């Protein structure tokens, strides 16, 4: 008997470049589910976003991913008329929408996707001294998952250090798991010494600028949340013999967690990653 097609979308602006449909089709093949996963363009305003979401779920849609620039809008919509997971609450952003008991529910799988990817790489997060570069939305989303992965110490460095301080104050107010006294902050140019892991969560890769990294800043592992382009941040630490990774595996990781939330089917990440690599 033919299965009913399960409908998913990813909402963004722009959206044509999104790799999510091909990733989710690999998950569908692996789990033998019949899915449709479409890119959904949306005008950049909250009313249009809300209308798209309502129409999709009203029409029987099961799950939606949310990407730039709608993650905070999606959070607001779930806050006022639905529910939010702890990760979404702390991140202040939603990348995964579903319905629970008939109401809209927002989750955020970005930070767990990052942690899962580093775990797959064999990077031993527990006890690590970690520096996180950036204090915007991308950085905000990964702090709780990093702390839940039992890292040893966290420093948040930002071009504008006051924004890192504000971020820490907001995160500790939002989650009992985050203690502001356990997180250091500083200006990026003043970050010095030896770290186990440095994560670039700034949007600098989009600008062509380079980060002002101190000469005596070193690490064993360097991760850039961007992917698919030349990343001077990674080149800098590769030249210093660090193990490096771009963020494509994080994209697959967050997608797999969304798929699991929607369908209840866990993803074999080694198989999915190998298939996606072959497709490129
Ligand atoms: P995202 O959602 O991608 O995190 P964002 O919320 O706009 O985007 O945050 C962008 C982050 O990248 C900020 O930490 C920003 O630093 P400031 O807070 O000082 O603005 C950082 N960033 C962006 N361009 C940068 C640049 N050219 N040099 C250094 N940091 C930069």
pLDDT digits (tens, 9 = 90+) for 34-48: 999 999 999 999 999
Domain assignment of residue 116, yes or no: yes
The burial of 79, by beta-carbon neighbours within 10 Å (0-12 exposed, 13-18 middle, 19 or more buried), is given as middle
Domain assignment of residue 210, yes or no: yes
- Tokens 């010494």, residue located: 193
The pLDDT value recorded for residue 230 is 87
d(CA 197, CA 131): 6
Same domain, 56 and 149: no
* DSSP code at position 80: H
- Given the residues 19, 71, 163, 180, the one annotated as active site: 71
Same domain, 120 and 219: yes
Q: Whose CA is nearest to atom 9 of ligand 1?
A: 136
Residue 113 C-alpha to ligand 1 middle, in angstroms? Answer: 21
CATH number at residue 151: 3.40.50.720
Same domain, 59 and 149: no
d(CA 199, CA 4): 41
Same domain, 116 and 189: yes
Domain assignment of residue 49, yes or no: yes
139-165 average pLDDT score: 97
Give the nearest ligand 1 atom to 140 CA. 4
Same domain, 198 and 242: yes
The pLDDT value recorded for residue 59 is 97
Domain assignment of residue 1, yes or no: no
Residue 86 C-alpha to ligand 1 middle, in angstroms? Answer: 24
Domain assignment of residue 177, yes or no: yes
The closest alpha carbon to 4, from 71, 61, 47, belongs to: 61
CATH number at residue 87: 3.40.50.10860
71 a catalytic residue: yes
Residue 163 C-alpha to ligand 1 middle, in angstroms? Answer: 10
> Is residue 107 predicted with pLDDT exceeding 70?
yes
Give the nearest ligand 1 atom to 203 CA. 12
Residue 29 C-alpha to ligand 1 middle, in angstroms? Answer: 37
72-85 average pLDDT score: 97
The pLDDT value recorded for residue 229 is 86
128-142 average pLDDT score: 97
Q: Whose CA is nearest to atom 14 of ligand 1?
A: 134
Q: How far apart, in Å, are the Cα atoms of 61 and each of 58, 161, 204, 279?
A: 7, 42, 35, 27
Count of residues making up the chain = 280
Q: Is 158 in the pocket of ligand 1 (CB under 6 A)?
A: yes
Enclosing domain of residue 117: 111-246
Q: Is 159 in the pocket of ligand 1 (CB under 6 A)?
A: yes
pTM of the model: 0.95
Residue 126: what are its φ and ψ, rounded to 5°? -55, 125
Q: Is 203 in the pocket of ligand 1 (CB under 6 A)?
A: yes
d(CA 128, CA 126): 6
Give the nearest ligand 1 atom to 202 CA. 12
> Is residue 155 predicted with pLDDT exceeding 70?
yes
Same domain, 186 and 131: yes
Domains of the chain: total: 2
Q: Whose CA is nearest to atom 30 of ligand 1?
A: 159
A 10 A CB-CB count for 57 gives: 19
Domain assignment of residue 12, yes or no: yes
Could you please report the per-residue DSSP string of 220-261?
A: EEEEES--SS--HHHHHHHTTT-EEE-THHHHHHHHHHHHHH
d(CA 68, CA 70): 5
Q: Is 180 in the pocket of ligand 1 (CB under 6 A)?
A: no
Same domain, 236 and 217: yes
pLDDT digits (tens, 9 = 90+) for 221-267: 999 999 988 899 999 999 999 999 999 999 999 999 999 999 999 99
Pocket test for ligand 1, best of 66, 186, 202 (most atoms within 8 A of CB): 202
Same domain, 232 and 121: yes
Same domain, 208 and 119: yes
- Name the token pair of 259: 């798929």
Same domain, 115 and 241: yes
Domain assignment of residue 84, yes or no: yes
Same domain, 62 and 160: no
Domain assignment of residue 104, yes or no: yes
Burial 141-162 (b: 16+ CB within 10 A, else e): bbbbbbbbbebeebbbbbbebe
pLDDT digits (tens, 9 = 90+) for 108-134: 999 999 999 999 999 999 999 999 999
Q: Is 166 in the pocket of ligand 1 (CB under 6 A)?
A: no
Same domain, 195 and 254: no
> Is residue 1 predicted with pLDDT exceeding 70?
no
């Amino acid at each position: 008997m033919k299965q009913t097609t399960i409908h998913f979308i990813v909402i963004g602006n722009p959206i044509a470049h999104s790799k999510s449909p091909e990733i989710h089709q690999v998950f569908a093949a692996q789990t033998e589910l019949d899915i449709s996963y479409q890119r959904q363009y949306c005008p950049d305003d909250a009313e249009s976003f809300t209308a798209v979401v309502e129409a999709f779920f009203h029409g029987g849609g099961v799950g939606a991913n949310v990407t730039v620039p709608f993650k905070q809008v999606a959070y607001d919509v779930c806050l006022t008329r639905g529910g939010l997971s702890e990760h979404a609450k702390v991140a202040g952003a939603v990348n995964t929408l579903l319905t629970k008991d008939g109401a809209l529910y927002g989750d955020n799988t970005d930070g767990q996707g990052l942690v899962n990817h580093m775990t797959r790489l064999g990077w031993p997060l527990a006890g690590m001294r970690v520096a996180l570069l950036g204090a915007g939305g991308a950085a905000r989303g990964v702090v709780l998952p990093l702390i839940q992965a039992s890292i040893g110490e966290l420093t948040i460095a930002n071009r504008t250090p006051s924004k890192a301080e504000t971020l820490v104050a907001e995160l500790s107010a939002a989650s009992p798991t985050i203690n502001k006294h356990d997180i250091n902050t500083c200006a990026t140019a003043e970050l010095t010494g030896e770290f186990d892991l440095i994560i670039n969560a700034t949007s600098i890769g989009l600008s062509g600028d380079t980060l002002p990294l101190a000469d005596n800043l070193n690490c064993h592992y360097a991760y850039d949340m961007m992917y698919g382009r030349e990343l001077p941040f990674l080149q800098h630490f590769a030249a210093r013999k660090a193990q490096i990774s771009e963020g494509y595996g994080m994209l697959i990781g967050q997608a797999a967690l969304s798929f699991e939330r929607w369908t209840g089917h866990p993803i074999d990440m080694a198989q999915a990653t190998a298939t996606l690599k072959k497709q490129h």
